[in-house]
Amino acid sequence: EDGGAKNEHLIENPGWADIQTFFSKEIDVPCMLGRLNFADYNDVKTWSSKIYQHVSTDDLTIRMPLGCKPWSPNSIKTFDNWIANGCPEDGSKPNPSKA
């Protein structure tokens, strides 16, 4: 299995339930524990940009999950999509009238 999530397919409009799978793997949770509660929507939303930087970097000294298998490209892109869509809880698409 390629690290990071139980569902390895790319999700265009992920919701919180999809994102939670990235932090629920038994092997990943101990590697990511720290000041953040990865089971808490508000913590993950608040720190989503920093989390993205740490899961998508090639720098092994800061890449999350530390000491564990990195997230797959599809998992990283799914997380990026979640951020780009405004971190929705329900997987809804962003509001097109935001412009």
Total domain count, the chain: 1
- Upstream peptide bond of 30 is cis (omega within 30 degrees of 0): no
What's the pLDDT at 70?
87
Could you tell me if residue 48 is inside a domain? yes
Could you tell me if residue 47 is inside a domain? yes
In terms of pLDDT, which residue wins out, 20 or 4? 20
Could you tell me if residue 10 is inside a domain? no
Cα gap 10→24, rounded to integer Å: 18
Could you tell me if residue 4 is inside a domain? no
Could you tell me if residue 76 is inside a domain? yes
Cα gap 30→11, rounded to integer Å: 25
Domain span at 83: 16-90
In this prediction the pTM is 0.78
Q: Are 5 and 11 in contact (CB under 8 A)?
A: no
Structure letter (DSSP) for residue 36: S
Under the phi-then-psi rule, with left for phi > 0, alpha for psi from -120 to 50, and beta for the rest, what region is 69? beta
For 21-70, how does the pLDDT look when each residue is reduced to its tens digit (9 = 90+)?
887 665 555 556 567 778 889 999 999 999 999 999 999 888 888 777 88
